[in-house]
Amino acid sequence: MNRNGSDKNHVLGIDIGGTGIKVAPVDLSSGKLLSDPQKEATPRPATPDTMIPVVEKLVNHFQWEGTIGCGFPGIVKRGIIYSAANLDDGWLEFPLRDKLSKRFSLPISLINDADAAGLAELKFGVGKKWSEPGSGVVLFFTLGTGIGSAIFLDGKLLPNTEFGHMELRGKDAEEWAATVVQEKENLSWEEWGKRVNEFLLKMEFLFSPDVIIIGGGISEDPQKFFPYLTLETEILAARMANEAGIVGAAMSSRI
Ligand code: BGC
């Protein structure tokens, strides 16, 4: 197995999150990780100065010489960060793609973390049949430190949707229904599940999706909260759990 990136189908995926940073080489033809991810907690304060050295350390582990794809938990356009709700404001307008590309002297693509996870689930996970022409509208959400969102029409992504910041009960939806809120407020599965339901009902009404896919670590326990969801739309738990972010980050090098 070639791990250093000289095989064009092998791309190093970096998943930068509000809680942790993960890096692993990905085989783009199978959507599988080529080795266990290297992980570190997201340092606090979560500024470019504290986080980039962590990314660098994790990447250096792989002695990578090929392409890199990176997911980031905020709005990303043309390699620049425009929001970072769960990180430090020092990220705003930060040219992350150029900074990383210069550090590693390698080509780098950058994508929103939820867009990345959605891409991976549609191609390699539970959403395969939803990526074909005529398959319709897919809404994908990650419920974690924040609420991440991605929307697809016939498998094509509309990037940077940020539905987790839609107003719900007078605040950002993610401040009311993200997974971390369940922990922080010590909510039962029923209490939290009903909050997620309220968020999803609003999304369903606004977008009339053909399917809704729920990703993030919580997708491994759908039986705990799916019983409280009262949507008309088919709802599926993602299959790739936390690997989707790394795989989709690597996939961003091809779009
Ligand atoms: C950010 C999104 C991100 C989501 C999940 C939100 O706070 O605004 O860009 O996708 O968290 O990390």
What distance in Å separates the CA atoms of residue 247 and residue 119, rounded to the nearest whole number?
Answer: 9
Task: State pLDDT tens for residues 92-112.
Answer: 999 999 999 999 999 999 999
What atom in ligand 1 is closest to the CA of residue 114?
10
**How far does residue 5's CA lie from ligand 1's centre (Å)?**
29
What distance in Å separates the CA atoms of residue 204 and residue 200, rounded to the nearest whole number?
Answer: 6
pLDDT tier at 3, thresholds 50, 70, 90: low
pLDDT tier at 6, thresholds 50, 70, 90: confident
Cα dihedral 221/11/31/79 (nearest 10): 60
> Which residue among 83, 180, 219 is best mutated to probe the pocket of ligand 1, counting the most ligand atoms within 8 A of its Cβ?
83
CB 213 within 8 A of CB 139: yes
Query: b/e string for 149-172 if b means 16 or more Cβ within 10 A?
Result: bbbbeebebebbbbbbbbebeeeb
Task: State pLDDT tens for residues 222-237.
Answer: 999 999 999 999 999 9
Q: Which domains does the chain have, with CATH numbers?
A: 10-113+249-254 (3.30.420.40), 126-239 (3.30.420.40)
Amino acid at site 88: D
What atom in ligand 1 is closest to the CA of residue 174?
7
Q: Is a pLDDT exceeding 60 seen at residue 80?
A: yes
Q: Is a pLDDT exceeding 90 seen at residue 2?
A: no
Tell me which residue has its CA closest to atom 5 in ligand 1.
Answer: 148
Q: Model-level pTM?
A: 0.97
Quick one: 71 exposed, middle or buried, by C-beta within 10 A (0-12, 13-18, 19+)? buried
pLDDT of residue 242: 86
Task: State pLDDT tens for residues 42-72.
Answer: 999 999 999 999 999 999 999 999 999 999 9
Amino acid at site 44: R
Q: Ligand 1: residues whose CB is within 6 Å? A: 18, 73-74, 83, 85-86, 112-114, 142, 145-146, 148, 162, 164, 174
Task: State pLDDT tens for residues 105-134.
Answer: 999 999 999 999 999 999 999 999 998 889
Phi, psi of 37 (to 5 degrees): -70, 145
Specify the residue for token string 């929001």: 83
What is the layout of strands, in order, in the sheet containing 156-158?
156-158, 147-153, 137-143, 211-215, 234-237
Task: State pLDDT tens for residues 174-218.
Answer: 999 999 999 999 999 999 999 999 999 999 999 999 999 999 989
Average pLDDT over residues 3-32: 94
